[in-house]
Structures are given as structure tokens and as C-alpha cells.
């Protein structure tokens, strides 16, 4: 009988309202799998003053700005029976310069580390370059979610090809269907119903869609544009609801009050899926080209939505081969033409939807979990052949104050 694999995940975790928290939870469940043959634990990252009622799999918590928590977490890992560590990496999750507190943990453990990189920067500032290069060094394998990210790791950071694995962002497996059932369930009107989802911040580019709507609505007055999502917590902390109010003012200026709806809330995964399934068109008008992954776009692809998006890196790759329409950043006229094309050409629109849906089958969480388990097994075999020598160097982040020895 095979020994049960024990995996420890490090990242934010539900019930924290955060995309990576949801991702970590979904990944854990997919790795745990149908036969429950993998034992999973979690070390959860918190911001100062946050407390959560975590589920039982969370065995340790790190306050992101407390360097001592990272050292204690390393001690916990070394004393545990964990076989492998799966780190969810996004620079802002960890304290220090470019999130370098995480190396207080990574430099002190002897277990193999599989790192999922949620951000890869093409033109990094020095501290982000150093942080990424260290991350590659301490990881047995680095997982990214697009070929673009693979190419950047090799070209920009000279990562060894045999360290890099590409595993798509996961998504729930729903049948290909029409929207009416879900519109009724959520009491949503709109024909067509256009959806943008995500934590609200200025880089979402929603103005581009709003400015495109008056002409479209003059021809299709039943169209509804639903903007779903709470304001990003960091944006809200600094700027309050200024951006949402700016968008509402824009709606009033354009006379769109009857056609634009704001749902100001963080929706749990099942509810989010219902909203996406209810929509006819998914709009992803982000302003930043440097976006290497988008969970919301992944879900829209896998649920067979008609999609119009700006050409950020992830969208360019995922929507190639006629799986969606791409419009240049801030191109109001391009969004107007694309929305009209999708509405007025239902046959071509359905072909596009089916292509997206079929492509999405390889991205279901069941398949993603299977691929991660294969990477874990490969990494463990490599470690048994080439045992990892524990790094005894003490990590000293720049923020630590000088030690005072006067009393001696």
C-alpha cells in the first residue's frame, strides 16, 4: 500500500475575501481529489489585525509583517511529517521588500517546495528581480498558468526549463448551456446581459464599456450591463469608494441608469458561477497589459461565454484561435463594434462560445489537481535522488534594526 502523500499549502485562505484565498482552497480540494488519497494542511497568511474562523486544515497562521512568524512557520514545517510544500506566490502577500520575508521561511526548511507564481514581471525593478530569482532558486518546481509566463521566466530570469511547469488556472466543470435558467434563479433581466466581475479598482477599465454603451443601447434597449464585485480592500482603505462613485457619475452623464447595475459585494464561488452562467457576454476591459493570469476570465472561458477583452497577456493567449474578441486598451469604438457583432451574429457567437468551452475542459479543477499531484510526485522523486541540503544561512531582511551591544 502506498504511503499517503502529505502536502502543506502556504497562501491566503478562505474565508478571507481574496482571489488567491479562493484559488488555494480550490487547489487543495482538487489535490485532495476524488479518492482522498492526499492529506492536506494549510499555513494561512493574514494582514495585521485580521482574524478569521479558519477550517480545520489551517494548522498555522502568519501575520504578513511579522518576520518572526515566518521563522516559526519554518520550524513547524521541519518538525511536521509534511512531504512537500506548495507555496502560492504573489509579492503583496508577504512582508518586506518585494515580499522577501517569505525567504525567512524558505531558507530554513528542508522539504521540497512547489511554487505557483500568480505574478511574473517582464521588466522588474531590482528588488522584484532579486525576489523572483531567489524564489526560483528555493523552488524544486515553479508552476505558472500560461506559456507567456513560461517564456518570461526563461528569458528574463534565466530559469532552468526543467524547473518550470505549466498548469492552467482551474475552473469548475459545468455543462454547456444557455443563460435563461440562471437569469431566473438570480432574478436578473437583460437581453443581452453583459457582465464584468472582479474586485473594483481603476485598472479594470470599465469606463471603456460604459462609453461604448449608448450607441449599442439605442439599437438594443433591453441590454443590461452588470458590474459585479466589491471595491478592492486596499483601494477602499486608501480612496474609499471614489472609483465606484466616479463610475456611477459616468453612468448618469451617459443616461445609462436603466441599463447599468452595480452589485457591490464579494460573491462566493458558487454564486459567482451562477452570475457568469446567467450572462450572455463577458467583458474584460482591463487597462494593464502585464496581467499574467485572470481567474474571472478563466471561468468565463470554461463556462462557454461570448467574451470581449483587452489584449492583456493572459487574454491574448487564452482567447487566441477565435475563442473571443480582443479590443485595444481604452478603445471605446472597438468595444461598441464588438458588442454589436456578438449580438447581431448569433451563429458566429455560438461557434466562439463552443470553442472557448471545449478549450476550458482541460482546465477543470479535476484535471488541474491531477497535474499538480503528478508534479508533486516528480519533485519528490528528484529530491530522493538529489537530497536537498538545508540552507543554514540566516536570512536578514533589510528592515531589521541594528543590534545594540552597548550593554556588554
Burial class (CB in 10 A: 0-12, 13-18, 19+), 387: exposed
46 Cβ partners below 8 Å, 6+ apart? 12, 16, 52, 61, 62, 63, 64
Nearest to 298 by CA among 284, 278, 285: 284
Overall average pLDDT of the 104-122 stretch: 96
- 5-170+364-385: CATH topology: Rossmann fold (3.40.50)
Q: Is the pLDDT of residue 222 over 50?
A: yes
C-alpha grid cell for residue 182? 440562471
Q: What secondary structure does DSSP assign to 209-253, as a single string?
A: HHHHHHHHHHH-TT-EEEEE-PBPHHHHHHHTTHHHHHHHHHHHH
Domain 180-362 in CATH: superfamily? Glycogen Phosphorylase B; (3.40.50.2000)
Q: What secondary structure does DSSP assign to 145-186, as a single string?
A: SSHHHHHHHHHHH---GGGEEE-PPPB-------SHHHHHHH
Question: Would the CA dihedral through 342, 343, 345, 349 be positive or negative?
Answer: positive
- CA–CA separation, 139 and 137 (whole Å): 6
Q: Is the pLDDT of residue 392 over 50?
A: no
Mean pLDDT for the chain?
Answer: 91
Please list the residue range(s) of the chain that carry CATH number 3.40.50.2000: 5-170+364-385, 180-362
270-317 residue pLDDT tens: 899 999 999 999 999 999 898 999 999 999 999 999 999 999 999 999
Q: What pLDDT is stored for residue 326 in this prediction?
A: 98
Q: Which residues pair with 38 in a beta bridge?
A: 5
9 Cα distance to chain centroid: 16
- The H-assigned helical ranges of 345-401 are 346-360, 365-385
By the 8 A CB rule, do 108 and 78 touch?
A: yes
What is this structure's pTM? 0.88
Amino acid at each position: 500500500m502506498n504511503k499517503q502523500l502529505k502536502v502543506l499549502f502556504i497562501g491566503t485562505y478562505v474565508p478571507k475575501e481574496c482571489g488567491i484565498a479562493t484559488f488555494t482552497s480550490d487547489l487543495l480540494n482538487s489535490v485532495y481529489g476524488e479518492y482522498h488519497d492526499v492529506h492536506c494542511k494549510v499555513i494561512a497568511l493574514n494582514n495585521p489585525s485580521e482574524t478569521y474562523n479558519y477550517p480545520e486544515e489551517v494548522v498555522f497562521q502568519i501575520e504578513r509583517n511579522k518576520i518572526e512568524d515566518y521563522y516559526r512557520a519554518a520550524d513547524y514545517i521541519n518538525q511536521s511529517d509534511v512531504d512537500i510544500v506548495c507555496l502560492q506566490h504573489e509579492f503583496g502577500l508577504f512582508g518586506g521588500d518585494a515580499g522577501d520575508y517569505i525567504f525567512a521561511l524558505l531558507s530554513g526548511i528542508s522539504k521540497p517546495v512547489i511554487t505557483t507564481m500568480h505574478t511574473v514581471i517582464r521588466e522588474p525593478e531590482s528588488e522584484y528581480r532579486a525576489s523572483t530569482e531567489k524564489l526560483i532558486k528555493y523552488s524544486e518546481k515553479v508552476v505558472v498558468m500560461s506559456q507567456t509566463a513560461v517564456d518570461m521566466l526563461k528569458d528574463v530570469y534565466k530559469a532552468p526549463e526543467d524547473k518550470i511547469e505549466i498548469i492552467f488556472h482551474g475552473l469548475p466543470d459545468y455543462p454547456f448551456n444557455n443563460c435563461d435558467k440562471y437569469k431566473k434563479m438570480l432574478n436578473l433581466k437583460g437581453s443581452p446581459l453583459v457582465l464584468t466581475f472582479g474586485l473594483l479598482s481603476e485598472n479594470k477599465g470599465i469606463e471603456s464599456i460604459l462609453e461604448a454603451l449608448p450607441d449599442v443601447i439605442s439599437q438594443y434597449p433591453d441590454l443590461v450591463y452588470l458590474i459585479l464585485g466589491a471595491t478592492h480592500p486596499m483601494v477602499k482603505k486608501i480612496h474609499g469608494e471614489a472609483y465606484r462613485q466616479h463610475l456611477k457619475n459616468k453612468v448618469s452623464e451617459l443616461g445609462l441608469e436603466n441599463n447599468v447595475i452595480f452589485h457591490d459585494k464579494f460573491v462566493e464561488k458558487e454564486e459567482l458561477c451562477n452570475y457568469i452562467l446567467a450572462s450572455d457576454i463577458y467583458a474584460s476591459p482591463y487597462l494593464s497589459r502585464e496581467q499574467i493570469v485572470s481567474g474571472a476570465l478563466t471561468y468565463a472561458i470554461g463556462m462557454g461565454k461570448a467574451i470581449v477583452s483587452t489584449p492583456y497577456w493572459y487574454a491574448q493567449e487564452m482567447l487566441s484561435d477565435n475563442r473571443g474578441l480582443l479590443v485595444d486598451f481604452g478603445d471605446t469604438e472597438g468595444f461598441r463594434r464588438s458588442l454589436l457583432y456578438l449580438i447581431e451574429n448569433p451563429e458566429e457567437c455560438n461557434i466562439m462560445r463552443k470553442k472557448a468551452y471545449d478549450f476550458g475542459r482541460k482546465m477543470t479543477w479535476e484535471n488541474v489537481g491531477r497535474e499538480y499531484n503528478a508534479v508533486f510526485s516528480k519533485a519528490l522523486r528528484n529530491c530522493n535522488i538529489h537530497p536537498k541540503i538545508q540552507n543554514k544561512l540566516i536570512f536578514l531582511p533589510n528592515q531589521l534594526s541594528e543590534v545594540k551591544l552597548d550593554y556588554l
